[in-house]
Amino acid sequence: MITSAQIRAARALLGMDQRTLAERAGLSLPTIQRMEASDGQVRGVVDSLVKVVQAIETAGVELIGDNAQSSGGGRGVRFREPKVSSST
């Protein structure tokens, strides 16, 4: 599923505020705020989550799940485990 960090990052890439995402997803602003305030994976009504994902993807950002390949051919970013620096 989608995480709160993914929603915030997608909005940042798109230069979109919470209100605009709410409008494009057909949801209320408090719903978007609750989703983004959650820890880790967003829990909620599946229909609402689907609407958010569709709004983000329609705007041009692909959400990539853990260990999934990107289907798009454009540039992008994804989370990974931080590298541990080795001191010698």
Distance (Å, whole) CA 80 – CA 13: 18
pLDDT at 75: 64
CATH code: domain 4-59 is: 1.10.260.40
Higher pLDDT, 69 or 21: 21
Q: What would the two tokens of residue 54 be?
A: 């569709």
Which amino acid makes up residue 15?
A: G
pLDDT at 47: 94
pTM of the complete model: 0.81
What tens digit of pLDDT does each residue of 11-62 get? Answer: 999 999 999 999 999 999 999 999 999 988 888 889 999 999 999 999 999 8
Top-ranked range on mean pLDDT: pick from 16-20, 56-60, 75-79, 80-84: 16-20
Helix or strand or coil: residue 41? strand
